[in-house]
Amino acid sequence: MGWGMRDFILQWLESFIPQKAAVDRFERMRASVGALFGILLTGLLSVSVLPHEAAVWLIAPMGASAVLLFAVPASPLAQPWSLIGGNLVAALVGVTCARLVAEPFLAAALAIALAVACMFALRCIHPPSGAVALTAVLGGPAVHAMGYGFVLAPVLLNSFLLLATALFFNNATGRRYPHAQQNEHRHNMHRTADAAPTTRLGFSHDDLDAVLRRYNQVLDISRDDLEEIFLQTEMEAYRRRFGETVCADIMSGDVVAAEFSTELAEAWRLMREHRLQALPVVDRARRVIGIVTKTDFLQHAGPHDYQHLGDKLRAFLQRTPHTHSIKPEVVGQIMSAKVRTASVYLPIVQLVPLMADEGVHQIPVIDDEKRLAGMVTQADMVAALYVNNLARASTGLRAVAS
């Protein structure tokens, strides 16, 4: 045997070796404990619900379903409708084929084929359901004697109990389940026809749909997860190309801030004096507890249009302090408590979607002790990205010249 043929055979054999799973030890343990928890409760509850003379109280396909629901809960094949709908239709098809077709092998083949077709039509593809159809045909006299009762118990009973345990366990351990589609479109915050800023230069929603249509195969990953992975990959590539510039490198360190008890007139004076669009609000330990913007002032001044806006705002700020007016008097009463913050070590590339798509204009930066360390604004981001691109272009020109 020549070396070329030998290398070809070795490469062919190596192609059967699966890649290492990109999950840590905790995720593996979480999935294993979940499967134990799910099957144990499903079995115990089924035994307690079903009559003692029941021939079958837990079917084998539930083991395969448990793998999907606890090991890959984000899979479209593991969602509630896939589990319930797939097992229901497979059981109905399997029992029907067993009753109408005398030859077991032909009945089994027909049951699988029809179950797959029905699952495609009903959008409930669930691989273990194929085993449910086979069990209905080849389960033996005890299963055959149950007839269509097999569909309700144990199939649907087992399916609902396993689903209930998956709903509880996955959410309790930090896994979103059901894994419904999210962020299918990155909407323009201004509600115009334009795409969101981050999608105008990268791939778009329609681009991904076109590729998936050409691929024309069922993927064991939800569409929104696939899109998010691509976006994160683009971000990782950008970080590799332009370096790890972090918030601490570009932030403004001399930050003008307000406290909860700062009077509105004083906060407004600070914003005008320093030409700021927003003030971070901090406690006595300089920990960020909110942010107040010009928009907050305008909203609480109460104008419904731009007529006499200046007069209304001045009246709002110049009212008699320390009264029992129901109107707000200090910054803490009008600030936004849900404020986005960033660590000093956060790469600035991760702020691009936040500022571009969600319209956040400034982000307080905090240190290891959660204290205010600086502010990053859209102007800081533009300057940093410009400098990085300029440096990259200069490096390319020097490489060409050499």
Distance of alpha carbon 45 from alpha carbon 38, whole angstroms: 11
Q: Which residue carries 């007069």 as its tokens? A: 311
pLDDT score of 389:
66
- pLDDT of 362 over the 50 cut: yes
Distance of alpha carbon 36 from alpha carbon 267, whole angstroms: 57
Pick the CATH number of 248-390 from 3.90.660.10, 3.10.580.10, 3.40.50.720, 3.40.50.9100: 3.10.580.10
Distance of alpha carbon 286 from alpha carbon 283, whole angstroms: 5
In this prediction, residue 119 has a pLDDT band, given cuts at 50, 70 and 90, of: very high
Quick one: DSSP state of residue 375?
Answer: E
Q: At what angle do helices 294-301 and 309-317 cross, to 10 degrees?
A: 90
Distance of alpha carbon 139 from alpha carbon 161, whole angstroms: 22
Q: What is the mean pLDDT of residues 120-148?
A: 95
Highest mean pLDDT among 182-186, 204-208, 366-370, 377-381: 366-370
Q: pLDDT, tens digit, for every residue of 258-275?
A: 999 999 889 999 998 998
Q: What is the mean pLDDT of residues 48-76?
A: 90
Tokens of residue 106, six digits: 């032909």
Count of beta carbons in the 10 Å neighbourhood of residue 28: 12
pLDDT score of 307:
45
Query: What percentage of the chain carries pLDDT values higher than 90?
Result: 46
In this prediction, residue 3 has a pLDDT band, given cuts at 50, 70 and 90, of: low
Question: SS3 for 193?
Answer: coil
Sign of CA dihedral 162, 165, 171, 172: negative
pLDDT score of 193:
57
- Name beta bridge partners: 246: 347
Q: Where are the domains of the chain?
A: 25-172, 197-242, 248-390
- pLDDT of 337 over the 50 cut: yes
Tokens of residue 275, six digits: 């030409």
In this prediction, residue 233 has a pLDDT band, given cuts at 50, 70 and 90, of: confident
- pLDDT of 108 over the 70 cut: yes
Q: Radius of gyration over alpha carbons of the chain, in Å?
A: 30
Higher pLDDT, 305 or 182: 182
- pLDDT of 299 over the 60 cut: yes
